[in-house]
Structure 1
Amino acid sequence: MTVKKEFKSMRNKFGDVILEISKEDPRVYGLDGDLANSTKLNILADKNPDKFLQMGIAEQNMMGVGAGLAAVGLQPWAVTFAAFITKRSLDQIQVSIAQTNLDVKMVGAYAGLLNGRAGKTHQALEDLAIMRSLSKMVVLAPADAHEVEQVMRFANEYQGPVYIRLARDNVETVFSDSCEYRFELGKAVVLKEGVDVTIISTGTQTARALDAAKLLNEEGVNAAVVHMPSIKPLDNEAIIEAAKNTGAIVTTEEHTIYGGLGSAVAEVLVENEPVPMLRVGVRDKNTQSGSNEELLDHYEISSKHVADKVLQVIQMKNY
């Protein structure tokens, strides 16, 4: 029997939860980079306008304002496209927020390749690499709408800077709303046990990792799938255990292969438990605009490409 997949919107969930948090916590304010209709911060603007601050197309100023608000005990949530928040305002994030360890929450919308034809200038494939390089920065990439709420609730309670990566389009559900899963900082989630290889994924790529594991099962390969919502801090113990249990690792992310999840996992393995490892991600290429399926295939991060990479790493393991 074929089970129908469920898809839900990360950004709609974000809008609903930021509204709830703003009503529950008097410290919370939403800072908009003139993209509220796209990021769904407009839900806050419409239903709790006193907590909505329009910063305009001025990301550097937005981060400075956020730092100022946090310095007087408030909790600003700065929200714009990931491509803008992590590159246009990096200096302000580093100097005014990360170095001072201020309680600013940064939400990078439209992250990754799939941005609804907004175009290659709006794609964000370097954000995880940039943000994990900053001291004091927590970096999170939820897999679906349910986990978006989980990481937002965590961020609201956490004292310090947090970056949350969100996708534009509806994403496949990994955690149902009725499940007992609770996000924990620095903890991986084993979604599928396996003995031949471990696929370590993050963010929207986790659903594709699970699909790849199903394809591999048809080939007689029993792949474990480990979801890594917390890029920094990273669950080193889960990575080492996976390497010991299966002897081969494939990482997969909707991000460049440089500096993101793949690099982070490789750092852990080379220092603790070296095993054959391959990375699925966007290679050293300038990206193009296109439909979702075209982009996933062209940049070789579809479920099929994940499965192909697993078969390659198993050959390395058995060589």
Structure 2
Amino acid sequence: MMGAAGQDQSTLFRGDDNELRLKDEKSVRGTPAKSMPAFILGDELADLAETDPRIVVATADLANSSRTRDFANRHPHRFIDFGIAERNMITAAAGMASCGLVPYVATFASFAAILGAEAIKTDCAYPRMPVRIIGHHSGISMGFYGTSHHSTEDLGMMRSVADLTVVCAADANQLRAILRASVDHPGAMYIRLGRGRDAEVYQDVPADFAFGKATKLREGSDLTIVTTGSQVHASLAAADRLAADGVSVRVIDMHTIKPLDEEAIRAAARDTRAILTVEEHNIIGGLGSAVAEVLVDEERIPFRRHGILDEFSLIGPPAALYAHYRLDADGVTAVARELLQKIN
């Protein structure tokens, strides 16, 4: 993807451009590139393909942004770049799956889940084809590229599709676990990734990862934060800050949005005084709505959904947007304190 001046625009989407300053310092500060989800995607799939000839990978003109280029370098005859034709790519992947292959197709989340929703429903989920749709640069992580490239509706859209597994990666190691578990998982799957600048949550690849089984990262009795994807790290940081004030916070990584771990939510409702959901998504339709659907059948418990209000997100540097929507550690801490003050 070349700009007017001949610049490779994929560096902007990856967030590693050192010449064009379209972001503040916080947006480029983080973990090494080798441990970022968008950068290990191609390598991990290439490793899996070494021993599984069914695995094929496709992209829609974003091989560098998703690092599926790394897969192409190692398995060139099992890689297809469809160009800017996302829906065609998803439908073609369903055709490949019908022939016994396991296709992984990657593009921006806004183009994968929103633009490709009909193809995901009709061609992948309905016939239960093992297609893995990877939506990277999800939520508001595209920053300056604006509303057309932001995906704050994808979880709501995807979780409403029958027989579709929906899962979010918090960091590189969890993404490795997701990919490894996905190879033989039945039916279609939507895998949501961040912008490739996600801070480390899991020091190692989680050995006990299982779809539909949430991970309790921290125990607590005053408040439970149920979170997913990019917000897991911020939620853990918020829990640390609240602990310094004597507040005991349980943190649950609800990596699988569908099927949801309902028992983990019911346990939190029994064991803690309030529940807060945190997500980089519209508060309507996503993780918060999924948790609310479980809680409506339980005893009443103070509950709050935190994310992006029902509005089109602003345009700006990702770090500034996270601060604006209180999706950074400071913001999540403040929202948690508001909920606790209300119930006290």
Q: TM-score, normalised by structure 2?
A: 0.87
- Counterpart in the other structure of 1:100: 127
- Counterpart in the other structure of 1:165: 192
Residues 177, 206 of structure 2: 8 Å contact kept: no
- Counterpart in the other structure of 2:247: 221
1:65 aligns with 2:92: yes
- Counterpart in the other structure of 2:218: 192
Alignment of 1:282-301 (within 5 A): 282-301=308-327
SS in 2 for 1:172: coil
Equivalent position to 2:159, from 109, 128, 132? 132
Alpha carbons of 1:315 and 1:107: their partners in 2 closer, same or farther (altered >3 Å)? same
Q: CA offset at residue 182 of structure 1?
A: 2.5
Query: Take 1:91 and 1:185, find their aligned partners in 2: how far apart are those partners?
Result: 24
Which is further off, 53-62 or 118-127? 118-127
Indicate the percent of aligned positions where both proteins have the same amino acid: 38
Alignment of 1:15-26 (within 5 A): 15-26=42-53
Structure 2: gaps spanning 5 or more residues: 1-29
1:279 aligns with 2:301: no
Q: CA offset at residue 185 of structure 1?
A: 1.2
Equivalent position to 2:110, from 83, 92, 99? 83
Deviations 1:71-125 (A, max 9, x none): 1111111111100011111111111111111111100011111226443321111
Query: Take 1:75 and 1:222, find their aligned partners in 2: how far apart are those partners?
Result: 43
Deviations 1:151-174 (A, max 9, x none): 001111212101100111321111
Query: Take 1:13 and 1:269, find their aligned partners in 2: how far apart are those partners?
Result: 36
Amino acid of the residue matched to residue 227 of structure 1?
D
Equivalent position to 1:243, from 256, 269, 274? 269
Query: Take 1:263 and 1:273, find their aligned partners in 2: how far apart are those partners?
Result: 17
1:269 aligns with 2:334: no
SS in 1 for 2:323: helix
Which is further off, 262-271 or 167-176? 167-176
- Counterpart in the other structure of 1:30: 57
Residues 191, 227 of structure 1: 8 Å contact kept: yes
Residues 173, 206 of structure 2: 8 Å contact kept: no
Q: CA offset at residue 130 of structure 1?
A: 0.9
Equivalent position to 1:10, from 23, 37, 54? 37
Deviations 1:270-319 (A, max 9, x none): 1123311011101112122212221011122222221222122223333x
Alpha carbons of 1:182 and 1:6: their partners in 2 closer, same or farther (altered >3 Å)? farther
Alpha carbons of 1:292 and 1:157: their partners in 2 closer, same or farther (altered >3 Å)? same
SS in 1 for 2:134: strand
SS in 2 for 1:203: coil
Residues 223, 273 of structure 2: 8 Å contact kept: yes
- Counterpart in the other structure of 2:8: none
SS in 1 for 2:264: helix
Alpha carbons of 1:283 and 1:113: their partners in 2 closer, same or farther (altered >3 Å)? same
Q: CA offset at residue 63 of structure 1?
A: 1.2
**RMSD of aligned C-alpha atoms?**
1.5
Query: Take 1:83 and 1:313, find their aligned partners in 2: how far apart are those partners?
Result: 31
Alpha carbons of 1:126 and 1:211: their partners in 2 closer, same or farther (altered >3 Å)? same
Amino acid of the residue matched to residue 210 of structure 1?
L
Q: TM-score, normalised by structure 1?
A: 0.94
- Counterpart in the other structure of 2:278: 252
Residues 67, 97 of structure 1: 8 Å contact kept: yes
Residues 115, 169 of structure 1: 8 Å contact kept: no
Equivalent position to 1:208, from 234, 240, 248? 234
SS in 1 for 2:127: coil
- Counterpart in the other structure of 2:137: 110
Residues 194, 222 of structure 1: 8 Å contact kept: yes
Amino acid of the residue matched to residue 132 of structure 1?
R
Alpha carbons of 1:195 and 1:11: their partners in 2 closer, same or farther (altered >3 Å)? same
